[in-house]
Amino acid sequence: MRQIIYVSTAINLVATDPDAILAVSRRNNRRDGITGLLYSDGKRFLQVVEGKEDPIAATVNRIEKDARHRAIVILSDRTIAAPEFGEWSMAHRFPGSDGDAFVDRVAALVSATSPALRATFASFAALRRAA
């Protein structure tokens, strides 16, 4: 299995609807056998996707062409023995919401993943909370 983690910046914050992204992504990921997590605070995306090689390559290609993103940076691209996520989920922080509760929610979503993955998401959520 292949696991890719990337970070990107949202192009148009008003047009970026996390619920719409989630609905389409869940449908596509279920079809393609992909699991992972998408974190969004309305300005930045941090996502991990994992699954078989061909569907992951197609998904990353689709993400790279998505006009809602810019400055996409692949943070990790590795082979894993087994998926770390049982289902695909999304963490999203709305402006003005409780930053500590958000960091706790992200920590819960990645609690069963590898230490490196937990650290990546936890540090990103904490940094974005402070932003």
CATH value at residue 10: 3.30.70.100
pLDDT over 90 percentage in the chain: 25
pLDDT single digits (tens) 64-104: 898 878 899 999 999 999 888 776 665 666 656 676 777 78
Is 40 among the domain residues? yes
Is 121 among the domain residues? no
Is 27 among the domain residues? yes
* Assigned token pair, 85: 């996520």
Q: Pick the closest to residue 52 from 38, 36, 72, 74 (CA basis).
A: 36
Instruction: Supply the angle between the helices 53-65 and 18-32 in degrees, to the nearest 10.
Output: 150
Is 122 among the domain residues? no
Is 125 among the domain residues? no
Is 99 among the domain residues? no
**What is the number of structural domains in the chain?**
1
pLDDT over 70 percentage in the chain: 82
- pTM (2 d.p.): 0.79
Residue numbers of the domain that contains 45: 2-93
* Assigned token pair, 94: 């709305």
